[in-house]
Amino acid sequence: MTTKNLLQAIGEGLAEEMRSDETVMVLGEDVGRAGGVFRVTQGLMDEFGPFRVMDTPLAESLIAGAAIGLSVNGMRPVAEIQFADFIPPAFDQIVNEAARFHYRSNGAWSCPMTIRVPYGAVPGGALYHSQSVEAWFCNTPGLKVVAPTFPADAKGMIKSAIRDPNPVLFLEHKRTYRLIKEDVPEEDYSVPLGKARVHRGGTDLTVVSYGLMLHTALEVARKISNEYDIEVEVVEPRTLYPLDKETILDSVKKTGKLLVISEANLTGSFSGEIAAIVAREAFEWLDGPVMRLGAPDVPAAAFAKPMLDFFVPSAEKIEAAMLELARY
Amino acid sequence: MTTKNLLQAIGEGLAEEMRSDETVMVLGEDVGRAGGVFRVTQGLMDEFGPFRVMDTPLAESLIAGAAIGLSVNGMRPVAEIQFADFIPPAFDQIVNEAARFHYRSNGAWSCPMTIRVPYGAVPGGALYHSQSVEAWFCNTPGLKVVAPTFPADAKGMIKSAIRDPNPVLFLEHKRTYRLIKEDVPEEDYSVPLGKARVHRGGTDLTVVSYGLMLHTALEVARKISNEYDIEVEVVEPRTLYPLDKETILDSVKKTGKLLVISEANLTGSFSGEIAAIVAREAFEWLDGPVMRLGAPDVPAAAFAKPMLDFFVPSAEKIEAAMLELARY
Amino acid sequence: MDLKGARTGHGSVGLESDDLLRMYRCMLLARKVDERSWILNRQGKAAFVISCQGQEAAQVGTAYNLRPGHDYVYPYYRDSGITLLLGQTARGQFLSLLGKKEDPNSAGRQMPGHYSSRELNIVTASAPVGVQYPQATGSALAFKMRGEDGVVLACGGEASTSGGDCHEAMNFAGIHDLPVVFLIENNAYAISVPEKMQVAGSIYKRAEGYGFPGVEVDGNDVLAVYEAARDAFERARRGEGPTLIEARTYRMTAHSSDDDDRRYREREEIEGWRQKDPIIRFEKYLEEAGLLDDESKEEIAASIKDEVDEASEYAEQAPYADPEEAVERVYAEG
Amino acid sequence: MDLKGARTGHGSVGLESDDLLRMYRCMLLARKVDERSWILNRQGKAAFVISCQGQEAAQVGTAYNLRPGHDYVYPYYRDSGITLLLGQTARGQFLSLLGKKEDPNSAGRQMPGHYSSRELNIVTASAPVGVQYPQATGSALAFKMRGEDGVVLACGGEASTSGGDCHEAMNFAGIHDLPVVFLIENNAYAISVPEKMQVAGSIYKRAEGYGFPGVEVDGNDVLAVYEAARDAFERARRGEGPTLIEARTYRMTAHSSDDDDRRYREREEIEGWRQKDPIIRFEKYLEEAGLLDDESKEEIAASIKDEVDEASEYAEQAPYADPEEAVERVYAEG
Ligand SMILES: Cc1ncc(C[n+]2csc(CCOP(=O)(O)OP(=O)(O)O)c2C)c(N)n1
Ligand SMILES: Cc1ncc(C[n+]2csc(CCOP(=O)(O)OP(=O)(O)O)c2C)c(N)n1
Ligand SMILES: [Mg+2]
Ligand SMILES: [Mg+2]
């Protein structure tokens, strides 16, 4: 057991799966020689060679499409889309194709493939290296969308994703890559897809969050526990789609209040789905409005730091929202 | 004033705009000689020639991208995507490009363009001629997404869309093309984007719906008014994004109950956003859970009629949901 | 007119008379299944028909080089000539046409023509045009990585070359010399859009820009197609990389049963191409080669008619999947 | 080694000495703005730099054929040589580099290198590689439909040809003989990925497959580029259609300030290309032609240094947009 950050944990999970299953391979732009623009795949090409760790042309539809073709011919590809912002050209291959092979062939074919997608706002990233793209994919039956936040979870979940017989979109918030380290087991283990995690028990309100926002939410939750004796239960979905609604509903039925926090521009974000489920299925337990906090409805984070900081929900805004709801 | 169906009303709106503004043009697959696979653009090529009514290659990214380039060089293109299911290759050009020209250039550039998108399940259409794709686009600031259902609205709104300085996605439910006829004014008029329409006053519950489901909902609302004296207020957003939430909230504040009905597979559909807004902003007025009805979470409608019918929310299911909520 | 037989002799391409008769029967079967499908459509029994008519030579000539269940195939919606040759049956085609539970492709989920067979390595096809090409390169890469001699066939109409996927795939195939053959069945129309509004330059010539061979072939001459495809598959199996085959042919029916082609093309043009009907041409060749006479022709026709009758009747009687089946098998288990 | 001057004589391509000196100054200005940008980056003042270094000849040689504010331009993120020639200023570049409110491209919203100018018809550029090509064909079509003589220039690196958009655009441009010039600045790398893993066959040869000319040109020879581009623009203005120009050059810096290119290329390779530096080559040509001597060279260098000093200082002092500006101008009004 050593401490690792998110980036290292994912890289280690990849390497272990590649060692234990020779059909596992990695493909994407700059994943080989360069080890990925974020260095997640560093060292893999040296160990596994230029086919199992393949630098592809700059063509996202090809990357996703080739991964499909590999997956139906005996391989377990892990494709990398360099930045979430560049996934749109692969949209067709992911939502219309990979997600439907199983259904449309009545179960004859399926696509065991993983697509890693670094997302989220970072300083200097601006409009096209910042987006939270989960809403685009969480209306696609046949696809799984996961977004672990903590290193140990991520390592266990990249393994589950690779072993899953379905296409899995694996979202990694770029700003959390090096944000924290934690103990990550060395032995083989996996963390199941489709299970939420309760980070912190609480009675006053439920917060659902993931990615960078989860870290901020946990911080603020500790702070207002100390300062105001308000106890926030923090739930991390880990898998967004299909969603573990039971864990969320159980929590809300206990606390009576829900605040969903994500970094996506609010309207039409996946937070709406979570809010809608709770407004329907935990209505009788609700002691306050179902609240959401997200980025403003603008195309994405701007380059200039002041505008970026204005875009990403801050600890202050999160604290204000928690207090408002707790005191409702 | 003559009665027209949806298809004719849109075609007439297009023709009138092309007559009054020579920068307006149409492009897409089979829109020319053939007049469109649904015949919406029938006769336009004869009247306006093969450039202003252009048959494009089978390349949706090109269609959307060329429309952008036309729009920034003095034209007002109306692009047709033959079926909503085939819009994914154009996703990048729409959400990453057209929707952002204005914002990213700090207002210097903008894309006055319209994209017509026939959507929705039809008998025999199966997985790839059936989808409701609105959720993919309703998280994209800079884009407008409209979905009129009635002929007179549609004619007025296609005109507004064409005249709008922003990119507008114009959704047309295929199964409503010939479903009803109504009086459609001959004179020049327009129906504003961004304004919902209340089809029917009611005090017991609010239903929000659009497309084929709106027609079914209106029918069922009349039926349960007759049979049970339950009065349903039916609100049609007409524009989905940005949403006219005031009209919806006003209605729910009056009735205390909301049911959102769409044909999209439920989880992650745009209905969640509408539900979330109400659960937040009309919480104090709610007398029952915020309900949604949609298709099951499967890739899309199947080819075989029995499975298709199971997929699309039926009048029976809608009636049951309305009664359940009204009696809550 | 153009009613000439195949120009390539079968001896020179290494085919025996048995091979030729198998090819002929398969072409004719595909045609007859298709003709019956239109009848079922007119009778209101089949909601939708999409045809192979005119393209049987291109399909059968190519597919005759495949090893069913070994090589991978990405057919497109007109390729019933290919799937029948590989081992799908007339019965299967009609079950699919009518969307019945036993439809081998999708159990009634997909439209007819969206082929699939796990056993035959026919990878599940869909409607979005062109998506198969990147997928095909992936399957080819898997063969190459494992050092196997499998090859991949990916097919589409000429309009399937207009989308980005086709280009991305050809570039990738060229970079890694992948064992994949791209068969473009250029039938002159994409629904109503004629080739000159669809294709700049020439499709087969584009291969050169990717560093691999592109060949143009008379798509109505089954032996010429066979020969071009044989070279391409051999090249692929030798590890030398991809080939692009452009088979020039003609769509003899409307685009589909939903289409009315009188809106956009002249009857004379169609008549002209009827003179080049690939089945009539092949018949003529076989007759001249002494491999077919009136009697054997009738025998084959009769056996096909029986097969088609039996198959369509079976399919008509067959049940639909239960409505609730619509929610099954969204995710794979295990 | 390769430190030779331009091979094309300026007389033969119809350029006057004034033209040459304007081109030279612009190339040098682009270089010096870029060099200063890296200094600002190392000082912690500029979050991100993306460079034109090595590509100035390809850019200036091409853009010298444009009529600013008349023709449309779709540059890519390295094209500061183009935008400076068209009329953007050093000050503007630094304002953009530092994300200040007066940034002419986006008022601090976009990364540096994402050019835009309504007045100069520089269409707002973005990061997704290749999206500009279909857009450029649309703008070209608008010119053609109105019967105007405007032309469109669309630029990208060699990897921008790998995505489907490039292909879809070339096909469309070829079908309608659109007045568009595609300039591919092939600098041998896409971040870390070398050309041989990116491009099958050859880029310029692909044009033939679309039925229009493709030319390969030494991208470090500004006069050769000028000549190729002049022919292409003239062709476009005559209504004869598109041209694809592949300018072979080299990226002299890391991909960006976020990249460490020691991971994937040898120092010797870079050194080799330094010997072919397009600015040094052009200097040599100008000296040999008697158009530049030590004195005038120093004069130009000094004036550029002043300009760069002034511009970077101005930009450093300039204010950011207010944070709340982030929510403005999402939709156009009116
Ligand atoms: C991406 C996409 N866009 C549009 C369509 C609608 N469509 C179906 S077939 C077709 C024409 C295809 O023409 P071609 O590739 O030449 O094949 P053919 O039908 O002529 O055999 C079109 C436009 C589609 N299926 N997919
Ligand atoms: C669609 C897309 N995918 C990936 C990226 C990330 N990316 C930015 S530049 C680049 C390499 C581009 O190479 P090339 O086109 O040769 O231009 P160069 O930078 O070499 O001038 C990549 C992969 C992107 N911007 N857009
Ligand atoms: Mg065709
Ligand atoms: Mg490059």
pLDDT in 10s for each residue of chain C, 334 residues: 345 677 778 888 899 999 999 999 999 999 999 999 999 999 999 999 999 999 999 999 999 999 999 999 999 999 999 999 999 999 999 999 999 999 999 999 999 999 999 999 999 999 999 999 999 999 999 999 999 999 999 999 999 999 999 999 999 999 999 999 999 999 999 999 999 999 999 999 999 999 999 999 999 999 999 999 999 999 999 999 999 999 999 999 999 999 999 999 999 999 999 999 999 999 999 999 999 999 999 999 999 999 999 999 999 999 999 999 999 999 999 8
Asked if residue C322 is part of any domain, the answer here is no
Whether residue D3 is contained in a domain is answered as no
Domain A2-184 shares a fold with domain A197-326: yes
CB contact under 8 A, B276 and A275: yes
Do the domain assignments include residue C30?
A: yes
Q: What is the pLDDT of residue B93?
A: 98
Nearest CA in chain D to C161: D168
Q: What percent of chain D has pLDDT over 70?
A: 99
C172-to-B81, C164, C239, D42, D330 alpha-carbon distances in Å: 28, 12, 15, 38, 38
Tens of pLDDT along D198-253? 999 999 999 999 999 999 999 999 999 999 999 999 999 999 999 999 999 999 99
Instruction: Let me know if B215 is a catalytic residue.
Output: no
Which of B107, D320, D93, D102 shows the shortest CA–CA distance to A305?
D320
Q: How far is the CA of D189 from the centre of ligand 4 (A)?
A: 4
**3-class DSSP assignment, residue A205:** strand
Which residues, given as ranges, of chain B have pLDDT below 50? none
Contacts of D126 in chain A (CB under 8 A): 127-128
Sign, CA torsion B63/B69/B73/B76: positive
- The angle, 0 to 180 degrees and rounded to 10, between the axes of the packed helices C222-237 and C17-42 is 110
> Which of C125, C149, C117 lies closest to C50, judged by CA?
C125
- From the CA of D255, the nearest ligand is 2
Question: According to the model, what pLDDT value does residue D1 have?
Answer: 35
* pLDDT lower than 50: segments of chain A: none
In sequence order, the 6+-apart residues with CB closer than 8 A to the CB of A97 are A64, A65, A68, C126, C128, C131, C135
**Nearest chain A Cα distance for residue B46, angstroms:** 34
Which residue among B58, B128, B131 has the greatest number of ligand 1 atoms within 8 angstroms of its CB, and so is best to mutate?
Answer: B58
Q: Rounded to the nearest whole angstrom, what is the distance from the C-alpha of residue C187 to the centroid of ligand 3?
A: 4
Domain assignment present for residue D5? The answer is: no
Q: Do A127 and B104 touch (CB under 8 A)?
A: yes
Q: From CA A26, how far away is CA A4, in angstroms rounded?
A: 21
Which residue in C has a C-alpha nearest to residue B296's C-alpha?
A: C327
Residue D176 inside a domain? The answer is yes
For residue C261, give how far its alpha carbon lies from the nearest alpha carbon of chain B (Å). Answer: 8
- Predicted pLDDT of residue C334: 82
Taking CA–CA distances from C198, the nearest residue in chain D reads D175
Cα–Cα distance between B209 and B274 in angstroms, integer?
10
D323 occurs within a structural domain: no
Pairing of strands B197-200, B232-236: antiparallel
Q: What would the mean pLDDT of D42-55 be, rounded to a whole number?
A: 98
**What domain count does chain D have?**
1
- Residue D4 pLDDT class (50, 70, 90 cuts): low
- Write out chain A residues lying below 8 Å of B92, CB-based: 88-89, 91
The ligand with the least distance to the CA atom of A93 is 1
Residue C54 belongs to domain spanning: 11-316
Cβ burial of A280 (10 Å; 0-12, 13-18, 19+) is middle
Does any domain span residue D180? yes
Average pLDDT over residues D20-32: 98
D129 lines ligand 2 (CB under 6 A): yes
Query: CATH number of the domain that D228 lies in?
Result: 3.40.50.970
Pairing of strands C180-186, C152-157: parallel
Instruction: Give Dmax (Cα) for chain C.
Output: 60
The SS3 assignment for A146 reads strand
Q: Which fold has domain B2-184?
A: Rossmann fold (3.40.50)
Residue C1: the pLDDT is 35
Answer whether CATH 3.40.50.920 is correct for domain A197-326: yes
Q: Catalytic positions of A, please?
A: 129
Query: For residue D253, is it within any domain?
Result: yes
- Under a CB-based contact definition with an 8 Å cutoff, are residues B266 and A261 in contact? no
**Ligand 1 geometric centre to CA of D34 (Å):** 47
Cα separation values, D89 from C269, D24, D55, D108, D318, Å: 60, 16, 18, 16, 15
CA distances from A223 to A219, A312, A321 (A): 6, 20, 14
Q: Are strands C180-186 and C243-248 parallel, antiparallel or unpaired?
A: parallel
Distances (CA, A) of C137 to A67, A167, B24, C123: 9, 18, 41, 13
pLDDT digits (tens, 9 = 90+) for D113-154: 999 999 999 999 999 999 999 999 999 999 999 999 999 999
The domain segmentation of chain A, as residue ranges, is: 2-184, 197-326
